[in-house]
Amino acid sequence: MKALEVDLFFSFRSPWSYFAAAKLLPIQQAYAVDIHLRVVDPIYIRIPDFFERAHEKWKPYLLTDLIRSSEYFDIPIALPRPDPIDQSLPADSQQHLVLQLNPLGIAAQQAGHGLAFAQSISAMVWDGSIDGWDSGEHLAQATQKTGLDLSELQQWIDNHQAQWPELLAANNAALEQHHWGVPTMLFDGEPFFGQDKIDQLLWRLEQKGLQPRSS
């Protein structure tokens, strides 16, 4: 039976995307479903005034919910060191560290290991175990855990300098057709926004004939 297909709109700056990747990877491993990583720019880049317009209770609730979700999912969370987005810089600055991760995620998806890469790299950034994830061998080691080689991903990026920005722009535009936030999972034209919708996504997949992945 052909595997079902799901698009995952994902940001390396989103802790909710981190939770989603951690929950979705075992599903992909256990069931005949291919989850395609579609890296998008963080909302700070896509909608620069988003945080300025947010309700004053948005940030404190976000922090409360992150800690609660971490405990509930049993997935560790901490503020990234450093933050992939530097909010002291304008949205269009090329100095945001997330701009180094975006093309790598696209390259990993092209290599067929997008979701595993998203899970490993987002854990490196968000699980609190690494201080200075952007230095040393941390990125290479996290990439290696997924069966990929960082230098080979970089070579793909170098060889496709025109293609990967087009893929990123297409992902940003496709997300906007369905939602503005991440993680958003898209199955059969139906969007599921948020890591808390993964159970409903799985329920829908089962309705459409989801089967265990053959060994």
pLDDT, tens digit, 9 for 90 and up, residues 166-179: 999 999 999 999 99
Residue 112 lies in a domain: yes
pLDDT of residue 50: 82
Domain count across the chain = 1
Whether 1 has a pLDDT exceeding 80, the answer reads: no
> Confidence band (pLDDT; 50, 70, 90) for 133?
very high
Residue 62 lies in a domain: yes
Residue 158 lies in a domain: yes
The arithmetic mean of pLDDT across residues 116-132, rounded, is 98
Supply the mean pLDDT for the chain: 96
pLDDT, tens digit, 9 for 90 and up, residues 176-204: 999 999 999 999 999 999 999 999 999 99
| Beta partners for residue 174, in sequence order | none
Residue 81 lies in a domain: yes
pLDDT of residue 179: 92
The arithmetic mean of pLDDT across residues 60-70, rounded, is 94
Instruction: Indicate the helix (H) or strand (E) that contains 33.
Output: strand 33-39
Q: Spell out the alpha helix ranges (H) of the chain.
A: 15-30, 43-46, 50-53, 58-73, 98-110, 114-126, 138-144, 150-159, 163-176, 198-207
Helix (H, G, I), strand (E, B) or coil at 200: helix
pLDDT of residue 4: 97
User: Torsions phi, psi of 29, nearest 5?
Assistant: -70, -30
> How large is the angle between the packed helices 15-30 and 198-207, nearest 10 degrees?
30
The arithmetic mean of pLDDT across residues 120-130, rounded, is 98
Residue 212 lies in a domain: no
Residue 215 lies in a domain: no
Residue 214 lies in a domain: no
Kindly state the tokens that stand for 47. Answer: 């909608």
CATH number at residue 165: 3.40.30.10
Of 63, 87, 89, 90, whose CA–CA distance to 77 is shortest? 63
Residue 103, domain extent: 4-207
Tally the C-alpha atoms within 13 A of residue 200's C-alpha that lie toward its C-beta.
12
pLDDT of residue 5: 98
Place of tokens 């989103």: 14
| Beta partners for residue 37, in sequence order | 8
pLDDT of residue 102: 98
Residue 179 lies in a domain: yes
pLDDT of residue 52: 80
* CA 119-134-78 angle, 5° bins: 55
> Confidence band (pLDDT; 50, 70, 90) for 59?
confident
Residue-wise DSSP of 112-155 = T-HHHHHHHHHHHHHSS--S-TTSTTHHHHHHHTTT--HHHHHH
Residues 6+ apart with CB under 8 A from 126: 15, 18, 77, 78, 80
